[in-house]
Amino acid sequence: METLEQLINGDKSVLVNFHTSWCPPCKLMAPIVDQLNREQQQYAHVVKIDIDEHKTLSQQYGIKSVPTFILFKNGEIRWRRSGVVDKATLVQQLSRTVE
């Protein structure tokens, strides 16, 4: 299994969803993130990271609120947003890095 660092430094785009199990907006986003994972797996990795379980990663990326989405391409942050994000916006951001 690849580490997050290996994924984000790879060729595919990586959308990371930082979340917690107790956060209502995170629960709202979960089915959308799961759907994106299924739909985009050929072009991108979609990863969910629970900040309670991975405190070091949340500190490393400066996660102050959840959900927070960070889109990586070739090891660089290409887009970042906290809060509820509609699926169309997530797809649009992913498509910008896949082209």
What is the DSSP secondary-structure string of 11-76?
A: SSEEEEEEE-TT-HHHHHHHHHHHHHHHHHTTTEEEEEEETTT-HHHHHHTT--SSSEEEEEETTE
Residues forming the active site: 23, 26
**57 Cβ contact partners less than 8 Å away, ≥ 6 residues apart:** 4, 18, 49, 51
